Amino acid sequence: MIRFRKTLATLLLCGAASLAQAAETTICYNCPPEWADWGTQLKAIADTTGVQVPLDNKNSGQALAQLVAEQAAPVADVVYYGVTFGLQAQKAGVVGTYQPKGWEQIPAGLKDPQGHWFAIHSGTLGIMVNVDALGGLPVPQSWGDLLKPEYKGMVGYLDPSSAFVGYVSAVAINQAMGGSLNDFTPAIDYFQKLAKNSPIVPKQTAYARVLSGELPILVDYDFNAYRARYKDKANVAFVIPKEGSISVPYVMSIVGNAPHRANAEKVLDFVLSEQGQALWAKAYLRPVRAMKMPADIAAQFLPDSDYARAGVVDYAQMAAAQEAFSARYLKEVK
């Protein structure tokens, strides 16, 4: 009987410990360790707040689709995605409201006034190139260069119908080719031409494939290219195409009826804190808070004259056009 009581007490203690451990968890959709150096950010969150955030390799579109599917019984607590998906999530009613610490330092155009989403950092789209994998070919300098037959089978871009960076690629190319958010014909024409060059079109980040040389050229952000070059020591170049490009923010939201609301708030507070924002800067992202980039990091960016070719767009209009563009891409390109 005594042994039974000891065994029961042990089981109860183990169960309590498991519950306590579970209570210190926050589920984030679309927090992949190889993207934007989320791996370092999540470790810092755990070390500083005690909240464990499991790795998640969804893209923005997959994350939103999962939130919609689980709306009646949410699994995730927070979500990270491109700004247009944040706007769509708000419209779909799958996110709650939260104004994290440091909220007042976010520019008005980069947050929902009620707190359905807010930007944490931004990046500029361009061409990421593993120079060693080109086999002696020149580094492409323009969107037009990617259509050249010598780069056949060497170019990749993320699926524009699913991944936010893919849709950003479409918007950037469309703007560069004379299109607008009301007319994506130039982008559709471009992707049709690029299809003849046998591009690789993954749904998730292809960062590791670029580093290995499997994918020599990827349409991607500056922060991934700089991390590859300066942190992972790969011979990677980054080019802002001569025809032009765009810069875009990435945002986060708390999920409606988040199962671990208190822990979710800690995570969102951290990514916007001075410590969290400094980590984004060290990963070559531009923090949303008005803080100066470390001099050694800023020196590794392309010159301001190159960034002058990257503009911004109306993100609400970009979000409104996304569904129709995706349908057209799937019908006419894919």
pLDDT digits over 149-199, tens only? Answer: 999 999 999 999 999 999 999 999 999 999 999 999 999 999 999 999 999
Is pLDDT above 70 for 2? no
User: How far is residue 10's CA from residue 200's CA, in Å, rounded to a whole number?
Assistant: 54
Dihedral angle sign, alpha carbons of residues 117, 118, 121, 124: positive
What confidence score (pLDDT) does residue 27 get?
98
pLDDT digits over 210-257, tens only? Answer: 999 999 999 999 999 999 999 999 999 999 999 999 999 999 999 999
Say if residues 95 and 67 touch (Cβ distance below 8 Å): yes
Residue 217 has phi, psi (to 5 degrees) of -130, 125
Amino acid at 171: V
What is the bridge-based pairing of β-strands 155-156 and 245-254?
A: unpaired
Length of the chain: 334
Of 75, 61, 52, nearest to 158 (Cα)?
A: 61
User: How far is residue 13's CA from residue 164's CA, in Å, rounded to a whole number?
Assistant: 45
Write out the DSSP string of 172-222: HHHHHTT-BTTB-HHHHHHHHHHHTT--B--SS--HHHHHHTSS-EEEEEH
Element (H, E) at 254: strand 245-254
What confidence score (pLDDT) does residue 292 get?
79
Is pLDDT above 90 for 74? yes
Q: Find the helix packing angle between 261-272 and 38-49, rounded to 10°.
A: 120
pLDDT digits over 262-278, tens only? Answer: 999 999 999 999 999 99
